[in-house]
């Protein structure tokens, strides 16, 4: 069972529809027992870093999410769900993230001649093709919607990068815990392949 964490600030239905399409059993939930019982957990996210962390804390889900992302379960963060795994973001000074990984969430520069937010398809350079990227081709295109991005993450967890005026670390993976800045649920066949890899992981 895949638990899609509902903390009041996520793009939940599109993730659920994508999982339904690939035949994966899933539930949208903020129930701690359901999250703890799930074998696979997704942390989606749209909106601001501060609003998301405030919602997580108001629903008393912070410790539950940290436990879910401790490496004992299969965990996938999507878009803002990636950013929340880090310690802080320039978007919301003074607001602590979940602190699962070390790295900086910073603003996409607006002086590079490109529109911000970064919206649309972009190719992803893959540093490895295992885990959620098993069988996916290097430089596959995924769909992005974001104004902030991951920078200076520890090199051993960064598995995917893209370019949008600056290098963007857009996918991380450490053991059973993974996260993407792009939206696999909006990325057509390649995104569905990534989600299949996630829900079928049993390593």
Identify the DSSP state of 89.
B
Has residue 51 got a pLDDT over 80?
A: yes
Which is catalytic among the residues 40, 55, 118, 185?
185
Q: Is 79 a catalytic residue?
A: yes
User: Between the CA atoms of 141, 44, 172 and 152, what dihedral angle is there, to the nearest 10 degrees?
Assistant: 100
Beta bridge partners of 140: 124
| pTM, rounded to two decimals | 0.97
Class of the CATH domain delimited by 2-199: alpha beta
Has residue 129 got a pLDDT over 90?
A: no
Do you know the residue count of the chain?
203
* CB-based contact 78:184 (threshold 8 Å): yes
Structural domain boundaries of the chain? Answer: 2-199
Four-residue CA torsion sign, 53, 98, 177, 2: negative
Identify the DSSP state of 93.
T
Which is catalytic among the residues 40, 55, 79, 146?
79
Give the three-state DSSP class for 177: strand
Has residue 113 got a pLDDT over 90?
A: no
Segment holding 148, helix H or strand E = strand 148-151
- Say what angle helices 12-21 and 188-199 make with each other, to 10 degrees: 80
Has residue 190 got a pLDDT over 80?
A: yes
Which is catalytic among the residues 40, 118, 146, 183?
183
- In the chain, alpha helices (H): 12-21, 32-37, 49-58, 62-68, 80-83, 188-199
Q: Which residue is associated with the tokens 């690939």?
A: 22
Has residue 188 got a pLDDT over 80?
A: yes
Beta bridge partners of 14: none
């Amino acid at each position: 069972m895949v638990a899609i964490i509902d903390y009041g600030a996520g793009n939940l239905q599109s993730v659920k529809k994508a999982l339904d399409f690939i035949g994966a059993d899933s539930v949208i939930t903020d129930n701690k027992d359901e999250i703890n019982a799930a074998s696979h957990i997704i942390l989606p996210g749209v909106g601001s870093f501060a609003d998301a962390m405030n919602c997580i804390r108001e629903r008393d889900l912070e410790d539950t999410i940290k436990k879910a992302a401790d490496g004992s379960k299969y965990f996938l963060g999507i878009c803002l769900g990636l950013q929340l795994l880090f310690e802080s973001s320039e978007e919301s000074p003074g607001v602590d993230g979940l602190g699962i990984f070390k790295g900086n969430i910073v603003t996409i520069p607006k002086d590079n001649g490109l529109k911000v937010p970064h919206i649309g398809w972009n190719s992803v350079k893959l540093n490895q093709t295992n885990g959620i990227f098993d069988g996916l081709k290097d430089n596959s295109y995924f769909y992005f919607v974001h104004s902030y991005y991951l920078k200076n993450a520890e090199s051993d967890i960064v598995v995917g990068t893209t370019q949008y005026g600056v290098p963007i670390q857009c996918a991380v993976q450490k053991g059973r815990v993974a996260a993407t800045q792009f939206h696999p649920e909006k990325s057509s066949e390649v995104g569905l392949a990534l989600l299949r890899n996630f829900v079928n992981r049993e390593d």
